[in-house]
Structure 1
Amino acid sequence: MTWKISKSFDFCYGHRVWSQELNPDFSLDSCLKCRHLHGHQGQVIIYLESSKLENGMVTDFKHLNWFKAFLDDVLDHKFIIDINDPLFETLLPHYNKTELIEFEQGYKMVDLTKIKDEPNHIREMYEGYVLVDFVPTSENLSAWFLEIAQEKMNKLNIKVASVEFAETPKSKSHVYA
């Protein structure tokens, strides 16, 4: 037997899919809306799986509270931008790509000490950016979340079977381990 459990998490975020292209044979218009700066109410569902139960459970649902903290502390109400986005220099004019603080979960943030003397609205803008090394599509975000979750859950010998990510209630991606 194999058991699966899941837990869902919600957060608000912004992004830009600078690489978006449309096939005119399938799209009703040529507007590349995802290339615009825009936001979503995202939902992540993490699916865990095991062929044996520990204390009658795959694992305690509370063992995923760290993921909610990650979303709240790092991504909620932030703008996720690809470090290779052609707008990088426009959106972050005070920084170059070598002046970023790197985190083990595969994202970067600006070093706010460089702009400590700037007005509050400038510091607030920069603290709102989370930089990744991929185009932040729903597919790439779900793969990133799976990688982060699996790295952490390895410590409990729990397999992350898949991650589902909905950037809207009608638009979802699902990646399997």
Structure 2
Amino acid sequence: MTEEEQRDVFKLSPDWLSVQEVVDAVSSPTCGAASLFIGTTRADQVDGRKVIGLDYEAYELMAQSEFRKLCDDIRARWPSVMHVCVHHRLGWVEVGQASVVMAISSPHRHDGQQAIQHAINQLKANVPIWKKEVYDSQDSSWKQNVECSWSSHSRASSENT
């Protein structure tokens, strides 16, 4: 590792997410790659109802702690990873808007690309952020991430493998 210090940023916010702010947070003269993931709210059809947005909540102190664990895990798997930045929305997020923006910098693209895939999966599985789908009928339902170990989707897929 170079003399440059590793930098990790985790931000939960009700405000619109800036992709450029996330990219800037991982920029480094020692890294030739910045891998980026942008997760947007999509307009799904659920039981004949159209999703018009998501409403996010989080257990913020625990989310910060889980983010630290995630960064430690990433660096254990990909020691060349230099900087990690995750910004996640809280509150109301309309269809088409970013719910999460994540970037990871590394000297070469391969490690960063693998780390970003791992990071989004682990974020969804372990960081206590919950989403409620809101439909055009004005009703809503809380959704489980399939990556969560306690998810019925996760159990069903592991039973089928």
- Report the TM-score when normalising by structure 2: 0.33
- Report the TM-score when normalising by structure 1: 0.31
**Larger RCO, structure (CA 8 Å, separation 6 or more):** 2
